[in-house]
Structure 1
Amino acid sequence: MSKLLTAGAVVLSLIVGPALAQERFPPVPPDKYDDAQKKAAEEFLAARKRPVYGPFARLMHSPEVMTVARQMGDHLRFKSGVGTTLSELVILVTAREWSQDYEWDVHAPIALKEGIKAEIVEAIRDGRRPAGMSDDEEICYDFSIELHRNKRVSDATYARAEKRFGKKGVVDLIGINGYYSLLAMAMNTDRMPISPEGKKLPRFPE
């Protein structure tokens, strides 16, 4: 009987464990900030016009890392050499490759508003190569997918990217992939939850 109870407990833990998983490094309450965190929070508010939120609130455990990450994001999201529409496409590819629910939940609506077609967003969500992409979208998609899956970029894909966006654009394209991978790694490690109304990405076999 005891063996059956033990086995049942193990099965139950496997079922409910992920749902009850708690964050590993949740946000530091602002009233508990040390001097470095207070300074980082003030700089964040000045730059982003809102208090520290989302992944940045988790990175605040190392305020220096949070500040550098925020500064990278200020450029890569809003001022990159590929433009804000294509950067959102790259962010979605990154969120999908990392199965990062919060990153996807936040940026999918932004991508749609920036002009990425709904069919393209849906295909990326499902892990399919989107049909009907523009030339620029194809370049950014192929470049990003190769980086994430192959850990390098082919000569043909690199040549297309450099011809279209120049070396600065290529570096920014690498930066967007890397920056949002950093945020995804932090959120996945933390087990950061999405909003109650948010939808999780489908999980693919390892």
Structure 2
Amino acid sequence: MFEQGHTRPWTERLPMPAADAMSQAQRAAAQALIDGPRKAVFGPFVPLLQSPVLMERIGSLGEYLRFDSQLNVRVRELVTCAVARHVGNQFEWVLHAPAAVKAGVSADAIEALRLGRRAAPLAEDEQLALDLALELLHHHGVSEPTYAAAEARFGKPAVVELSALVGYFAMVCWVMNVAHTPVKGAEGQPGLEAFPL
């Protein structure tokens, strides 16, 4: 498994501050996260705690996209894995690859994605969502055929949510890549390998 964001060697740049070193705003933001569906401060929220207002706002967006979005959980988890693979983020990969399989995405498709290959087999909605996500990640936009297929299958509101999901996970992955946020509890799980340069 390579380090977060493809860099070697690395040490965590923005670790969790000690409780007695936190500002009142940091303590309040951390407690809000603990009281919500995540139940803890972990992953991207550790470095984001350096900016508690930003952490709260990003946390609210992620909470909606992960827990309340109209997108099927299979689609959400698959797209999250695609983003993690694209930006080389171990944390989100290790967290969401098993969640994708548990939600019903083919384990073979997730393994293919991990290896940088075309994910297959996929259900039709998974393939359409993955096509949109990968096109958005690679080209920063989507073609008319990709958009039309996604809109026909999901509807306009869900296409917007799908696009936002890609952006949200790219953002939190980049924050962790910059912070060198460590992956914990990944023993025995296949992580991402860096693509050859």
Asked if these proteins are the same fold (TM beyond 0.5), I'd say: yes
What corresponds to 1:4 in structure 2? none
Question: Is the 1:86–1:137 Cα contact (8 Å) retained in structure 2?
Answer: yes
More relative contact order, 1 or 2 (CA 8 Å, 6+ apart): 2
Deviation at 1:31, TM superposition (A): 2.4
Q: 1:29-79 CA deviation, whole Å, 9 max, x = no partner?
A: 222211111111121122126221121111100011111111011110112
How large is the RMSD of aligned CA atoms in angstroms? 1.5
Gaps of 5+ in 2: 1-6
Question: Is the 2:131–2:146 Cα contact (8 Å) retained in structure 1?
Answer: yes
What corresponds to 1:8 in structure 2? none
Q: Is 1:18 matched with 2:8?
A: yes
What corresponds to 2:4 in structure 1? none
Q: SS at the partner of 2:44? A: helix
Q: Which one-letter code corresponds to 1:107 in the other structure? A: H
Q: Which one-letter code corresponds to 1:202 in the other structure? A: E
- Whole-Å separation in 2 of the counterparts to 1:182 and 1:161: 23
Match of 1:58 among 47, 52, 59: 47
Deviation at 1:132, TM superposition (A): 2.2
Question: Is the 2:77–2:100 Cα contact (8 Å) retained in structure 1?
Answer: yes
- Please identify runs of 4+ aligned residues in structure 1 that moved more than 2 A: none
Normalised by the length of structure 2, the TM-score is 0.90
Rg (Cα) greater in structure: 1
What corresponds to 2:64 in structure 1? 75
Gaps of 5+ in 1: 1-16
Task: Name the one with the larger helix percent.
Answer: 1
- Whole-Å separation in 2 of the counterparts to 1:115 and 1:96: 19
Match of 1:200 among 178, 191, 197: 191
Deviation at 1:199, TM superposition (A): 4.3
What corresponds to 2:84 in structure 1? 95
What corresponds to 1:121 in structure 2? 110
- Percent of aligned positions that are identical: 37
Question: Is the 1:103–1:184 Cα contact (8 Å) retained in structure 2?
Answer: yes
- Whole-Å separation in 1 of the counterparts to 2:38 and 2:151: 34
- Whole-Å separation in 2 of the counterparts to 1:69 and 1:204: 29
Match of 1:152 among 141, 148, 154: 141
Q: Which one-letter code corresponds to 2:80 in the other structure? A: I
Normalised by the length of structure 1, the TM-score is 0.87
What corresponds to 1:5 in structure 2? none
- Whole-Å separation in 2 of the counterparts to 1:83 and 1:184: 22
Deviation at 1:27, TM superposition (A): 1.5
Q: Which one-letter code corresponds to 2:69 in the other structure? A: S
Question: Is the 2:105–2:122 Cα contact (8 Å) retained in structure 1?
Answer: no
Q: Which one-letter code corresponds to 1:80 in the other structure? A: S
Q: Which one-letter code corresponds to 1:201 in the other structure? A: L
